[in-house]
Amino acid sequence: MTELATSPDMGRGPEKQLPRFDPGITEPIWKIRWKMNMRSLAQNWEIFKESRVGMSGLIIIIAFGAFGLLWPIMINFVWDPLIYHPVVGFDPMLMHPSPPVAGHLLGTDPIGRDILAQLMFSTGREFLLGMLSAVISVVVGTFIGAMAAYYGGFTDTIFMRVADIVMLFPFVPLLVVIGSMIRLSIFPFAIILGFLEAFGGITVILKAQALQVKVRPYIDAARVAGGSDLHIIRAHIIPNVLPLSFLYMMFNVTAAIVSEATLSFFGILNIDMSWGMMIHTAETAGYLFDFGKFWWLWAPSGFFITLFCAAFYMVGRGLDEVVNPRLRKR
Amino acid sequence: MDALLSVEDFTMHYRTKAGWVQAVDGVSFALKRGQALGLVGESGCGKTSVAMSIMRLLPYNAEIKHGRITLGGRDVYAMASEEFRQVRWKEISMIFQAAMNALNPVYTVGSQIVEAIVEHEPETTEEQARRRVAELFDLVGIPADRADHYPHEYSGGMKQRAVIAMALACNPSLIIADEPTTALDVIVQDKILREMEEIRRRINMSMIYISHDISVIAEVSDIVGVMYAGKLMEIGEADDVFKRPRHPYTYGLMHAYPSILGAKRDLATIPGEPPNLMAPPAGCRFNPRCDRATDECRAVEPKLIKAGPEHRIACHNPVWTPSSGGERVGAAR
Amino acid sequence: MIPGHARAGGPSGALRPAPRFGREQLKARVITMRRYMLGRVGQLVLTLLIYMTMVYFLMQAMPGDISQVYLANPRIPQAARLELKKQLGLDRPPFFQYLSYIKNFFTGNLGVSFSHYPRPVWDILVERLPRTIVLFVTANCLSFYVGFVLGRIIAWQRGATVDRMATVVGITFWTAFYPLLSLILIWLFAFTLNRLPLNQFIEPALWIKAPFTSNTVFGYMVLGASVIALAVFLIFWVFRRGLRRTRRSAAMAWAMTAGVIGLAIWIAHATGTLIYIWDIIRHMILPVCTLTLINFAGTMLLMRDSMLETVQEDYVMAARAKGLPDNVVRDRYAARNALLPTVTSLVLSLASSMSGGLVTETMFSWPGIGQVLFRAAIGNDYPLATGALVFTGVFLLVAHFVADVLYAFLDPRISYTGQPAAEG
Ligand SMILES: Nc1ncnc2c1ncn2[C@@H]1O[C@H](COP(=O)(O)OP(=O)(O)OP(=O)(O)O)[C@@H](O)[C@H]1O
Ligand code: SF4
Ligand SMILES: [Mg+2]
């Protein structure tokens, strides 16, 4: 894809190699490499900081993180678990669903559970789900992409054909069918999602990137200097593909969260509480036909899903500017 | 004859995050109808920036500090954009430095030329325009039936010729050729240059050749301007500049060559590096590399002064000044 | 004009006929194009087989013996059960089961649905496929067009308020939780404004007295729409191609388009199908809008990004230097080239927009493939779910193929490399 074609390596590759040929340097290589990485990280961070969209996304994510971390504190020290438990809590003092009142800042759901507690409890799990599936997809995808680009030939063909098929899979219908047969819980779901993403489009994109790196002269230099295949892939190709991988990781988090929310919304997953689940509860109890009146049943969770996804997407766009100089603000 | 193009004390800087890039600073020259001006200078000295300023195609971060460019008596930057749009290609066209990429990959080469003709000569029908394309292709040496091919089906040299044909399409009175031949091998380069020169003389067109290859400039220009670090250092008739250079920078360049028509070589033969245009040296921008530099050079910026009827230089201690009676450095033999 | 100028072309050969460029060229292009497409069809069939295999093994891998479940369905009478068993090859070893599954697909036999017993799965899916196609194609074309146009505008005005606002709105819709978005739209349009029908595909009361079935009318609609689309395409191809883009030609093209649509409406009216067609269209509005809202932003943001790149290309600069009007530089140079990567990504996102389609169909009770798949999956109707999954895959494959061919037409470079840019 052309928009990814510009090189993201920011000239790190050749520099990184210098220590191997310079006997005057006494520092261990890992230390130099670490310093180099830190320096390029700092440079990239400078560019990222310029992107307003990216920074807004990052701030939102941090806010979500803080919100999620509040949960163990609240449930252990502030809230009474009997009332505020996100799944089995119940407040006997109120008619349910109750609109926001003093003890329940965002009201309660049709079976008497506190909405705020549910939101807070779910935040951590959304992070877990999103990050787990994104990390799996990117780690696997990067490795496959690098392998396919480096070895080419048969390895390449196999992975690319598989990617064609996987890209063809309509994920949600597929997951609906799988999910309705084996009720997936959060971990298997994240893992399945991660692998589906990994073998699909991301491999193709990262491979294209790795191909560009592969033809650089310093790869040949490294090979001549006796670097093993694995070493070259690990030390030269992957670091150069990494910014792009990171970018796709952000987009994959969004994809994972949306998939989870959608399937939860249809009640297909075996997850006791999540943002999608909250809307599901309201919907199945029939409260969604009067939108305006029972807004607290759907608005907070719907807003959270959208905002959370948007935040990762925005960080992705910010990273896009790091990876792709032509998009940068001027 | 009156001046077709005149650039007066033109100063244009680029805004960047790190500061202002002083890419064009106080450049002045005039070009008469039918004359060819050659602009030489090291890479990054602002040649393309001058060309783009004339074409009024500056990027978003360019800022004109002062100065004026007039074309046929009209101020380029005072014209309404719609008015200047009509001027482009009709009166002033350009051969881009990256001719390879100057063609839109999704349309046939012929149609891109036809498009320009039809745009500027509404009375010309498409048929007539196509016939003109065929003639132009003949002229630059591409088989006419290749007009309906896409750019990716052309070789680099063909693209270059096609771009030249495109620049000629509307019979402009001035063509700016920014490194028109650098992408080509030497033999083709010579051939194309000669052809362009012939066409130019035949239709009495003006031309600005931009290059960092002195031999190219020497071959085709009537007037030669030497740029260094955003400034015009010396400008004059080709004979004067090449045979009797007055500016130490030009002198250095010439000195580096046994003969200007000999081996083709790039300019970077003077020891030292061109300055960072974000913080050029005070006084004369050439002073850190100049062996004639004095304290005055490090403090006072030299203005372009007359050194002959058509010869101007910007230097405090020009090479061989007859009135000073000082040492005659063997430049002008 | 500058006086004293001869035409650059030397002796003006006014008598010479204008050269007809490119007959040969065109022929060569058609041939390479045909070869390219044949290659793609071959890949298509192979991919389809692999896809079907994967679906099959996926089903086999599910817990419980599907074939047992299949046969144990109480709704199937004992006699039919044995027949079915033989038909599906369940009495033979697994490999043969697989082969008969493949064979059965190509002979249009996907078994019998549990929940709609005794309707064959194939029947159900074939009945519903056009509805999904119409919804999917309409919504995708619309959202692509909207996204393309908006992206073009905001990229051209980079940094302006429009750009910033459109980016924010785009990101919001792009990441919006779409089941909720459709609920909000239903609530807004159907309940609050009382304007649009809530859901379903037709108004039953209207159709009771109808002399045709809804599917007949729907078939006419699809046919009519295709004919209209083709006609409009031809009109624009003739009048607006390349350089013949004058104001008069534009007026002519639009007038003829209006004429074609008017004619179509008149025919529908004359045959008495107009009110029924209108009823179906009314029911389509909400789901199509939802799908468009979900999808347009992706195209828009992508178009913006890829156009921000093309505007920096030298040919855009050259187009400006040529003194072409601003909108020509934008449309024929910057946007036209930015279109290519955008179409590539459209191809890549077809599958995910199908996912959106499933949700939308379910939310709006639009009786298409997606809704059937969802209900079958929930109701453990394995044959139907499998069939729907395969159909979805086939449908996407074909969509993929169409988009690829389209791309090959858009990018002249493609027929030579034989590879769509999507591959690298
Ligand atoms: N858009 C821009 N923004 C900031 N700086 C720029 C921009 N374009 C050019 N420059 C800088 O302005 C200076 C002059 O550039 P210019 O392209 O005019 O040089 P040139 O003489 O044409 O060089 P070359 O022979 O390599 O083409 C360079 O230092 C360049 O880095
Ligand atoms: S002004 Fe001084 S430094 Fe500059 S070129 Fe002349 S002598 Fe050298
Ligand atoms: Mg240049």
Q: Please work out whether the CB of residue B231 comes within 6 Å of at least one atom of ligand 2.
A: no
Beta sheet of B174-178, edge-to-edge order: B92-95, B174-178, B206-211, B36-40, B223-228, B231-237, B311-313, B305-308
Question: Ligand 1 mean position to A81 CA, how many Å?
Answer: 67
Rg (C-alpha) for chain C, rounded Å, is 26
SS3 B36: strand
Residue of B nearest to C242 (CA): B111
Q: Please work out whether the CB of residue B286 comes within 6 Å of at least one atom of ligand 2.
A: yes
Region C192-212 average pLDDT: 68
CA distance C333 to C322: 12
Give B-chain residues touching C2 at CB under 8 angstroms.
91, 171, 173
β-pairing, B92-95 vs B174-178, is parallel
> How many independent structural domains does chain B possess?
1
Instruction: Count Cα neighbours of B130 within 13 Å in the Cβ-side half-sphere.
Output: 17
Give A-chain residues touching C404 at CB under 8 angstroms.
none
Structural domain contains residue B55: no
Q: Please work out whether the CB of residue B265 comes within 6 Å of at least one atom of ligand 2.
A: no
Q: Fill in the DSSP letter of residue C244.
A: -
Give A-chain residues touching C374 at CB under 8 angstroms.
173, 176, 266
Q: Please work out whether the CB of residue B275 comes within 6 Å of at least one atom of ligand 2.
A: no
Per-residue pLDDT of chain A (330 residues; tens, 9 = 90+): 333 333 344 433 444 444 445 555 567 777 777 787 778 788 888 888 888 888 999 999 999 999 999 988 888 888 887 888 888 877 777 777 788 888 788 888 888 888 898 899 999 999 999 999 999 998 898 888 888 888 877 888 788 778 877 877 777 888 888 887 777 888 888 998 888 888 877 787 788 777 777 777 777 777 777 777 777 777 777 777 777 788 888 888 888 898 889 888 888 888 888 898 888 888 888 777 677 778 888 888 989 999 999 999 899 888 888 877 766 655
Backbone region of residue B67 per phi and psi (left: phi > 0; alpha: psi in -120 to 50; beta: other values) = left
Neighbouring chains to A with at least 3 Cβ pairs closer than 8 Å: C
Higher confidence at residue C408 or residue B90?
B90
Handedness of CA A50, A56, A61, A65 (dihedral sign): positive
Question: Ligand 2 mean position to B210 CA, how many Å?
Answer: 24
CA distance B269 to B289: 11
Structural domain contains residue B117: yes
B150, C412: Cβ pair inside 8 Å?
Answer: yes
The residues pairing with C125 across neighbouring beta strands, listed in sequence order, are none
Q: Report helix angle A238-265 to A115-151, nearest 10.
A: 140
Q: Which atom of ligand 1 is nearest to the CA of B45?
A: 21
DSSP C82-115: HHHHHHTTTTS-HHHHHHHHHHHHHTT---B-ST
Region B75-103 average pLDDT: 88
pLDDT at C269: 86
Structural domain contains residue B140: yes
Residue of A nearest to C376 (CA): A177
Question: Ligand 2 mean position to C149 CA, how many Å?
Answer: 56
pLDDT at B21: 92
Contact A257, A186 (CB under 8 A): no
Interface of A with C in 60-89 (CB under 8 A): none
Q: Which atom of ligand 2 is nearest to the CA of B296?
A: 2
Q: Please work out whether the CB of residue B250 comes within 6 Å of at least one atom of ligand 2.
A: no
Q: Please work out whether the CB of residue B280 comes within 6 Å of at least one atom of ligand 2.
A: no
pLDDT at C424: 28
Question: Which residues span the domain enclosing B109?
Answer: 92-171
Contact C382, C69 (CB under 8 A): yes
A306, C362: Cβ pair inside 8 Å?
Answer: no
Residue of A nearest to C396 (CA): A168
Given a cut of 50, whether residue B41 has pLDDT beyond it is yes
Distance set, CA C351 to CA B5, B318, C151, C358, C393 (Å): 58, 73, 22, 11, 9
Question: Ligand 3 mean position to B71 CA, how many Å?
Answer: 22
Q: Please work out whether the CB of residue B56 comes within 6 Å of at least one atom of ligand 2.
A: no
Which residue among C244, C318, C336 sits closest to B102, beta carbon to beta carbon? C318
SS3 content of chain B, % helix, strand, coil (to 5): 35, 25, 40
Task: List the single range of A77-86, B119-128, B324-333 with lowest mean pLDDT.
Answer: B324-333
| Structure confidence at residue C175 as a pLDDT band (50, 70, 90) | confident
- Any B CB within 8 A of C270 CB: no
Q: Please work out whether the CB of residue B227 comes within 6 Å of at least one atom of ligand 2.
A: no
Question: Ligand 3 mean position to B265 CA, how many Å?
Answer: 17
C54, A165: Cβ pair inside 8 Å?
Answer: yes
Contact A297, A288 (CB under 8 A): yes
C321, B94: Cβ pair inside 8 Å?
Answer: yes
| Structure confidence at residue B328 as a pLDDT band (50, 70, 90) | very low
pLDDT tens for each residue of C100-112: 778 888 887 777 7
- Any B CB within 8 A of C331 CB: no
Give C56→chain A minimum CA distance, Å: 12
H/E run at residue B312? strand B311-313
CA distance C340 to C345: 9
Matching CATH number, A51-327, of 3.40.630.30, 1.10.30.50, 1.20.950.20, 1.10.3720.10:
1.10.3720.10
- Any C CB within 8 A of A42 CB: no
pLDDT tens for each residue of A113-138: 888 988 999 999 999 999 999 999 98
